[in-house]
Chain A
Amino acid sequence: MTTTVLDPAGVDHTHRELLRLATAGSVDDGKSTLIGRLLYDTKSVLADQLSAVERATAARGGTDGPDLALLTDGLRAEREQGITIDVAYRYFSTATRAYVLADTPGHVQYTRNMVTGASTAELAIVLVDARKGVLEQTRRHATVTALLGVPHVVLAVNKMDLVGFDETTFRAIAAEFAAYAAGLGVPDVVAVPLSALAGDNVVERSVRTPWYDGPTLLEHLEQVPVTRDARTEELRLPVQVVIRPRTAEHPDYRGYAGKIASGVVRVGDEVTVLPSGKSSVVTGIDTFDGPLRQAHAPQSVTLRLADDVDVARGDVVVPAGADVTVGADLIGTVCWLAERRSVLGQRLLVRIGTRTVRALLREVDARLDVDTLTAEPLRGVDTLHAVDATDTSSDAAPSALGLNAIGRVRVRLAEPVPLDHYAQHRRTGGFLLVDPSDGATLAAGMVGPTLLDRLLPDEPDEGADWLAGAGI
């Protein structure tokens, strides 16, 4: 057996972190080749996958090494049957980091897929073709990335080999994108000139871009902060299950199990349970491996509290005195994910944190058009059943949201729940709209003001007040 070079078993992996990222771009931009290159150059491709690709490359008349784009090829049957091409997850790793990459197709149903991929990503790679520069779809990808609050964005200026590795071309594209991203409020953009096909500046530093002193794509991925953002936020622990063994060994044990969504919790901390608002003190943080004195996001733990407060699945543990809105009036931006259109007045289930509540869709009062990148207010939204659910024609009443539409909604909840604004609490401010009849996920939403509100023309009505209050 041959000895291996990269990712050897002998390397110390005990400090290896996990980074979740998403890619946005079309096949034409070389996205598949770029992902293939990352997998290949980090030696994350199984030998059998590679030999399959080599055979396929040869069969298609290729001679110059394996066609790396084939590594991310979907199933042939899938393409033939015209099934929705979906988000695919890819895995690669280095000695210091393991990566979960959400590969989102850039064409059909792009918004739905991009929103899904971006929701968990801490970094997004937006691809452009150096010959074409920033296109409408580039702006669209940046917009969705910004809407979902992905903290780090990389602009991968691909196919630099086809523009002679020209510095001026790269600088112009990078500047145009940076200006656009700044307008969207994206905090961190890094542009990298690369050639996925030839491997320049993906993993290996290119000798053909001597004017570029920034990191290669992988170097940047290795450096970008991972989960620390979540730890610096205020504590949120959505309770998943109440642990009550009632065994001879643990007759009276009662613990509240959940994954810490954000922040840090310590034994002795005073906490409040929402929505009830009852307070107590953390007396223990338990795990299978032993008790902890403190725990942080995204650890899964079990809390014990001093008082016999009534805590159930769906409750959220926050620091005592935390300023959290508890309300039954949910205003937020949704991305509609289902074929069936929204219907004003329709009955819904809202899934937020670990809680599911009954709800009514009361208003759709603004829409974000990701093609024109404009937001517009909508009118006439308070009448129940204003739109026929079966009407899927393009000129249906504008207050209905169809597949891939992004709109601002007002949802009335059957009971008050803690409502974190997504802009400040990315890990607790997201929600789903679910159809109670069959459980289908209709839409994904973000509580509070988002990019949509930022792009909306100044509103004369009361909407401006809560926007101003949110600091957007």
Chain B
Amino acid sequence: MTTTDTPPVAAPAPSAAGRTFTQLDALESEAVHVMREVAGEFERPVLLFSGGKDSIVMLHLARKAFWPAPVPFTLLHVDTGHNFPEVLGYRDATVERHGLRLVVASVQDAIDDGRVVERPDGSRNPLQTVPLLDAITTHRFDAVFGGGRRDEEKARAKERVFSLRDEFGQWDPRRQRPELWDLYNGRHRPGEHVRVFPLSNWTELDVWRYIEREGIELPSIYYAHEREVFARDGMWLAPGGWGGPRADERLELRTVRYRTVGDMSCTGAVESGATTVAEVIAEVAASRLTERGATRADDRASEAAMEDRKREGYF
């Protein structure tokens, strides 16, 4: 064992703040560790910043990781052209307040250039990949932080914290590197890059509880507000220049909030009266309720929830 002059530590050892080292402390420390590894190993890291809660939490962690130095990463936003104005406002205010550098990759530009083609359904979510990869190539970004979490879906459960992408930005499961201890291997060949997921081990509830604990400000649309919406595919969508509502769809005023933020054409709101973080947490916790034989009404709502989660990350 270790030398005997190591002082015995009373259990449970309190942290300096006089409380136990909690799950959120552990997740925060792990994420900070991951970000510092990237700063130490890569030349040109970039942080994907959508103005969504996961990317906001990532930015908060980055500020903590390098304090009192400024965040050593550029921010990259893939703008679909159909973003919520509240979110764009939040994005610009955040960049301004913390003196950050922001690169915007525009889906509209890609459409104008002919690099991508508008889809018949008007959704620009799937069109984000091309401008994202083009921005990575143009700026020679070698590490790209994403807010993806392993609890989101089955495929993500097998994702690495450091995930190697080839020169086409593709993920090859066969080339996944085993990840042991906290030794993250970021070696890559020229043209390749590494996607990095510091929130891998967080759940949706962890993110919300951390937002509450840290007092992190979010775009207003995460909280309940009155909005004109219309129903499509079991979701409440907001009208906009992207092409909704159609003639057969009726606008109505509802009290809603968004669980994720993304392209307006396919990001649905949920009916909610949650106006504070605590109320959102209560709602998220309750929505996990797993009584056998969920009702049909629940089924409809939960399918939308699954859609939301799939949209939550860029990849």
* Partner-B contacts on A (CB < 8 A): 1-5, 7-10, 13-18, 40, 43-48, 50-51, 54, 65-66, 73-75, 78, 83-84, 86-91, 93, 97-98, 100, 112-113, 115-116, 119-120, 225, 227-228, 231-234, 240-241, 243-245, 247, 249-250, 253, 257-259, 263-264, 285-289, 292-296, 298-300, 302, 313, 322-323, 337, 349, 351-352, 354, 424, 427, 430-432, 434, 438-441, 444
Given contacts A40-B290, A48-B302, 5 further A-B contacts (CB under 8 A): A48-B305, A86-B158, A287-B64, A322-B3, A439-B164
Complex: A83 Cα to B171 Cα, angstroms: 13
Q: State how many angstroms separate the Cβ of A284 from the closest Cβ of chain B.
A: 11
Q: List 17 A-B contacts (CB under 8 A).
A: A2-B291, A3-B286, A9-B285, A46-B288, A47-B288, A47-B294, A50-B294, A51-B298, A89-B150, A89-B157, A89-B200, A89-B201, A231-B9, A243-B67, A245-B70, A298-B29, A427-B181
Whether B294 lies near A225 (C-beta < 8 A) is no
Q: Which of B1, B16, B185, B283 contacts A434 (CB 8 A)?
A: B185
Instruction: State in angstroms the CA–CA spacing of A36 and B22 once bound together.
Output: 25
How many of chain B's residues have a CB under 8 angstroms from any CB in A? 88
In the complex with contacts A4-B285, A7-B288, A46-B288, A299-B69 CB distance below 8 A: no
Set of chain B residues within 8 Å of A116, measured between Cβ atoms? 178-180
Among candidates A16, A232, A294, residue contacting B22 with C-beta atoms closer than 8 Å: A16
Tell me the B137-173 residues at the A interface (CB within 8 Å).
150-151, 154-155, 157-158, 164, 173
Map CB proximity to A onto B184-195 as digits: 1 under 8 Å, 0 otherwise: 011111000000
What are the nearest 9 A-B pairs in CB distance?
A439-B187, A48-B302, A288-B64, A245-B69, A292-B16, A9-B282, A240-B36, A119-B180, A18-B26
The residue of chain B having its C-beta at the shortest distance from the C-beta of A432 within the complex is B183
Q: Say whether A91 contacts B15, CB under 8 Å.
A: no
Q: Known contacts A247-B69, A296-B13: does B158 contact A47 (CB below 8 Å)?
A: no
A263 to B176, CA, bound (A): 32
Nearest chain B CB to A32 CB, angstrom units = 12
Write the nearest CB–CB distance from A268 to chain B, whole angstroms: 14
Question: Which residues of chain A are near B178, meaning CB under 8 Å?
Answer: 87, 112-113, 115-116, 337, 441, 444
Interface centre among A17, A18, A228, A424 (most CB of B within 10 A): A18
Q: Is B87 an interface residue (CB 8 A)?
A: no
Is there an interface contact between B68 and A73, defined as CB atoms closer than 8 Å? no
- B201 to A243, Cβ gap below 8 A? no
- Cα separation A83 to B187 with both chains bound (whole Å): 23
A300 and B286 contacting across the interface, CB-CB below 8 Å: no
| Bound-state Cα–Cα, A22 to B312, Å | 28
Closest chain A CB from B153 CB (angstroms): 9
Interface presence of B43 (CB below 8 A): no
Are B189 and A439 touching (Cβ within 8 A)?
Answer: yes
Evaluate whether A247 and B70 lie within 8 angstroms (CB atoms) in the complex, with A119-B181, A240-B36 already known.
yes
Min CB–CB distance A383 → chain B (angstroms): 28
Q: Chain B residues near A352 (CB, 8 Å)?
A: 183
Q: Shortest beta-carbon distance, B271 to chain A, in Å?
A: 10
Bound together, the chains give a CA A351 to CA B185 distance in angstroms of: 8
Alpha-carbon gap, A245 to B189, bound state (A): 30
1/0 contact trace for B273-300 toward A, CB 8 Å? 0000010011111111111111000110
* Cross-chain contact A1 with B283 (CB below 8 angstroms): yes
Which residues of chain A are within 8 angstroms of B291 by Cβ–Cβ distance? 2
B37 interfacial contact with A, CB 8 Å: yes
